[in-house]
């Protein structure tokens, strides 16, 4: 991707793609299959559970793309034509009488026999109300053919499509008032750390406010998940066991914190006792430590606790995992190449997701890229992806992932 750069040492760190592939494979092994049949209005953000095949031609008849006059081309010799009917959208016209034209409006069916619509701007209405045209006419001009959008039997949306305003509009245009969607994934969110307290309470010595909980609960809701907010979990083995056991039937336990090297790893111990655990050191920055395991059969993803690390690992790993659990194929965010407006002199051994913006066509980055600084992301429009082992000169090209691609 990037032409500049020397190979860097990745040591034993797991590349981001490999972690993603493993997570997606595990998601495929645990698909959520239950469906809900819901009114269209409730389907926004959900995943379609059925193929949507058109049962009709759309539009069902040729219609006018303009306000103007419908004509049979061979009738137009330069002699003004009598207007034999007026056709508004929603009306069913008569066949066009020979030697006449029809007044027609946008969206109205083109009458049988007409093969051309001329816009009213190129028409002259004479004193006797006959009409002539100032420009040459062409067959099919300004006519939207029958079946232009879709024809009966055509596959329009496939199962596994994430539904947004456009897909819902398409389903509505085909006459669907309800759709089968995958039921919402139930995700329990745990914030681990003795130092955490909730906003609204006075801050004691050594304490910080829990911000990850808000980030993840709001994000998961946008992502179409049902959130079970399990609050703060102290760094304590017994409480970790009890809390995990109390979560009940969820599709995923998502925790933050407590996965850094050197820290007493209570989540890890509890998972090893009653399930299994993989502890990954990822070639990702911010990020690096990530836990994947099961507790009594329920998948658990443990994200690193630093706010920017939580953000990046959720966006690039946990989010695709959750979408794939619902059968979404296209889980990776759009990336596009941009030139950089900064230099990157030291090659890193981890892939960096710098919080950046596009200014005058070039990527620039927030002044402080610490994993503890969430303001970097509030300022940013996206992630600037700097591959491991690369240096950058101004003008070199990198991938940019808009935050708007992942924050839903």
What are the Cα distances from residue 320, in Å, to 24, 116, 330? 7, 49, 9
CB of 194 to Mg ion, least distance (A): 7
CB of 202 to ligand AMP, least distance (A): 17
Site for ligand AMP in 23-82 (CB under 6 A): none
Name which of ligand AMP, Mg ion, none residue 142 binds, using a CB cut-off of 5 to 8 Å depending on partner kind. Answer: none
**Residue 286 binds ligand AMP (CB under 6 A):** no
CB of 257 to Mg ion, least distance (A): 4
Q: Which is nearer to ligand AMP, 144 or 213 (CB)?
A: 213
Q: Which is nearer to ligand AMP, 158 or 370 (CB)?
A: 370
Judged by CB under 6 A, the stretch of 33-41, 94-102, 188-196, 344-352 that binds ligand AMP is 188-196
Name which of Mg ion, ligand AMP, none residue 111 binds, using a CB cut-off of 5 to 8 Å depending on partner kind. Answer: none
**Residue 293 binds ligand AMP (CB under 6 A):** no
Beta bridge partners of 397: 339
CB of 388 to ligand AMP, least distance (A): 22
For the chain, the straight-line distance linking the first and the last C-alpha, in angstroms and rounded, comes to 27
Q: Are 293 and 280 spatial neighbours (Cβ–Cβ below 8 Å)?
A: no
What are the Cα distances from residue 103, in Å, to 90, 99, 112, 131? 14, 14, 14, 10
CB of 200 to ligand AMP, least distance (A): 14
Select from 390, 400, 399, 401 the least CA-distant residue to 3.
390
Name which of ligand AMP, Mg ion, none residue 100 binds, using a CB cut-off of 5 to 8 Å depending on partner kind. Answer: none
Judged by CB under 6 A, the stretch of 111-119, 144-152, 190-198, 338-346 that binds ligand AMP is 190-198
**Residue 195 binds ligand AMP (CB under 6 A):** yes
Q: Give the Cα-Cα-Cα angle 385, 388, 389 (nearest 5 degrees).
A: 130
Using CB under 6 A, which of 212, 313, 326, 376 touches ligand AMP?
A: 212
Long-range contacts of 22-28 (CB under 8 A, 24+ apart): 22/292, 23/292, 23/301, 23/317, 23/318, 23/320, 23/321, 23/324, 24/320, 24/321, 24/324, 24/331, 26/292, 26/299, 26/321, 27/320, 27/321, 27/322, 27/324, 27/325, 28/324
Which helix H or strand E contains 110, and what residues bound it?
Answer: none
d(CA 347, CA 350): 9
d(CA 402, CA 380): 9
Name which of Mg ion, ligand AMP, none residue 101 binds, using a CB cut-off of 5 to 8 Å depending on partner kind. Answer: none
Binding site residues, Mg ion, CB under 5 A: 193, 257-258
**Residue 370 binds ligand AMP (CB under 6 A):** no
The size of the interface with ligand AMP (CB under 6 A), counted in residues, is: 19
User: Cis bond leading into 213, ω under 30°?
Assistant: no
**Residue 349 binds ligand AMP (CB under 6 A):** no
| Helix (H) and strand (E) counts in the chain | 9, 26
**Residue 236 binds ligand AMP (CB under 6 A):** no
Q: Are 26 and 299 spatial neighbours (Cβ–Cβ below 8 Å)?
A: yes
Q: Are 325 and 26 spatial neighbours (Cβ–Cβ below 8 Å)?
A: no
Select from 335, 19, 31, 39 the least CA-distant residue to 160.
31
CB of 352 to Mg ion, least distance (A): 23
Beta bridge partners of 87: 104
**Residue 89 binds ligand AMP (CB under 6 A):** no
Q: Which is nearer to ligand AMP, 55 or 370 (CB)?
A: 370
**Residue 307 binds ligand AMP (CB under 6 A):** yes
**Residue 305 binds ligand AMP (CB under 6 A):** yes
CB of 304 to ligand AMP, least distance (A): 5
Site for ligand AMP in 256-275 (CB under 6 A): 256-260, 263
**Residue 193 binds ligand AMP (CB under 6 A):** yes
Name which of ligand AMP, Mg ion, none residue 191 binds, using a CB cut-off of 5 to 8 Å depending on partner kind. Answer: ligand AMP
d(CA 262, CA 185): 33
Residues making contact with ligand AMP (CB under 6 A): 191, 193, 195-196, 208, 210-213, 256-260, 263, 304-307
């Amino acid at each position: 991707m990037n032409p500049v750069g020397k190979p860097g040492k990745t040591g034993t760190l797991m590349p981001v793609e490999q972690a993603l592939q493993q997570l997606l494979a595990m998601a495929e092994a645990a698909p959520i299959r239950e469906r809900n049949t819901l009114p269209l209005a409730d389907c926004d953000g959900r995943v379609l559970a059925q193929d949507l095949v058109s049962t009709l031609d759309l539009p069902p008849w040729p219609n006018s793309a303009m306000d103007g006059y419908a004509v049979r081309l061979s009738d137009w010799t330069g002699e003004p034509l009598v207007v034999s009917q007026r056709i508004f959208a929603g009306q069913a016209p008569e066949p066009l009488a020979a030697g006449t034209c029809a007044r027609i409006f946008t969206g109205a069916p083109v009458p049988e026999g007409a093969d051309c619509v001329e816009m009213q701007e190129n028409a002259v209405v004479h004193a006797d109300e006959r009409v002539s045209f100032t420009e040459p006419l062409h067959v099919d001009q300004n006519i939207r053919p029958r079946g232009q959008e879709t024809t009966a039997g055509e596959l329009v949306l496939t199962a596994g499509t994430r539904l947004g305003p456009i897909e819902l509009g398409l389903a509505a245009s085909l006459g669907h008032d309800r759709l089968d969607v995958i039921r919402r994934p139930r995700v329990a969110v745990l914030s681990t750390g003795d130092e955490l307290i909730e906003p609204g309470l006075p801050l004691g010595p050594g304490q910080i406010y829990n911000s990850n909980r808000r980030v993840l609960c709001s994000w998961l809701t946008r992502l179409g998940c049902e959130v079970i907010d399990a609050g703060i979990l102290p760094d304590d083995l017994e409480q970790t066991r009890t809390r995990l056991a109390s979560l009940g039937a969820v599709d995923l336990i998502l925790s933050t914190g407590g996965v850094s090297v050197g820290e007493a790893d209570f989540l890890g111990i509890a998972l090893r006792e009653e399930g299994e655990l993989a502890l990954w050191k990822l070639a990702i920055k911010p990020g690096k430590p990530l836990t994947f395991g099961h507790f009594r059969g329920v998948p658990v993803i443990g994200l690193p606790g630093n706010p920017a690390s939580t953000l990046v690992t959720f966006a690039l790993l946990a989010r695709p995992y959750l979408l794939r659990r619902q059968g979404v194929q296209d889980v990776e965010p759009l990336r596009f190449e941009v030139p950089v407006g900064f230099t990157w002199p030291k090659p890193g051994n981890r892939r960096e997701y710098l919080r950046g913006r596009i200014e005058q066509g070039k990527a620039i980055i927030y002044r402080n890229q610490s994993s503890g600084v969430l303001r970097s992301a509030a300022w940013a429009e996206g992630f600037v992806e700097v591959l491991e082992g690369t240096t950058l000169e101004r003008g070199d090209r990198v991938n940019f992932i808009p935050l708007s691609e992942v924050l839903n």
